[in-house]
Amino acid sequence: MESSLKRLRRRYIKPFTNNFNRWQSVRYGRIAVHFKKHLDGGGSSFGQDLVTFLALRQMPRRQRVFEWCAGPGFIGFSLLARGMAETLCLADVNPQAVQACRRTVAENGLGSRVTVFRSDGLQDVPAAERWDLVVANPPHFVDDWIDDLRSYDRGWHLHRAFFADVGRFLEPSGVIVLQENNRGSTVETFRPMIEQSGLAVVFVAECRPERTLHDRFYYLGIMRRGDPPPAWATAAIL
């Protein structure tokens, strides 16, 4: 049981003191990505494994890439810096994350290639957006890190709404690649939500059948049901 002092600290004191965290940056090729520590949800560390995962599968350069739950956009900007994305769309509900993304865009002169939206899920993303690839390291837990914006997805509502909405933004043969945590879920946690939304799981990599005791990341490839998977996505079946 969480003590009331701990709750006070988590709900009010920490969010307030976070405002005073200093700006930092991490460099991917020519792009310096700006962030504050409390906005990093792992994208600067294990999130880069998602970029390597796509590179190892020799994914060809994608015209437009969307990073859902982008935080400071570590994964998206890294794809852009490595020439794996031509243009980038980023969205997050946290205004501070959006501010970090905009700072990176401005400081690196990326205004013609990157658009940033503040959006709860996909709610405030313009309907005209179309994506060849969607990547994300979203909140991973339904029963841990309660109320932590980076980690907690109450009742999987955020995932469920994403699966229900994302299909209309996908280009034909567009692929979604999620980085999930086996400590919080398995592919079977999401498969019913995915299938109910007219989507299909096209590959699963590095996922254990049961939830694990420790953090362990796996990858989920998803497409619109019936769309033929591109070769790089099929090659990802391990």
Residues making contact with ligand SAM (CB under 6 A) = 40-43, 47, 69-71, 74-75, 92-94, 97, 120-121, 137-139, 149-150, 158
- Name the residue nearer to ligand SAM (CB basis): 177 or 230: 177
Provide the 8-state DSSP code for 197: T
3-state secondary structure of 132: strand
Question: From the CB of residue 108, how many other CB atoms can be counted at a distance below 10 Å?
Answer: 18
**Least distance in angstroms from the C-beta of 226 to ligand SAM:** 28
Q: How far is the CB of 45 from ligand SAM (least distance, A)?
A: 8
Nearer residue to ligand SAM within complex by CB, 74 or 203 = 74
* Distance in Å, CB of 164 to ligand SAM, minimum: 13
Give the phi and the psi of residue 114 in degrees, each rounded to 5.
-130, 130
Cβ distance 101 to 121 under 8 Å? no
Query: How is residue 186 annotated by DSSP?
Result: -
In the complex with ligand SAM, the residue whose CB is nearer, 80 or 149, is: 149
Contact 84, 108 (CB under 8 A): no
The alpha helices in the chain, defined as continuous H runs, are: 4-8, 14-18, 47-56, 74-81, 95-107, 157-166, 187-196, 231-234
Distance of closest approach, residue 231 Cβ to ligand SAM, in angstroms: 27
| Closer Cβ to ligand SAM, 138 or 230, answer by number | 138
Residue 227 to residue 52: CA distance in whole angstroms = 25
Q: Which one, 37 or 208, has the nearer CB to ligand SAM? A: 37
Q: How far is the CB of 85 from ligand SAM (least distance, A)?
A: 15
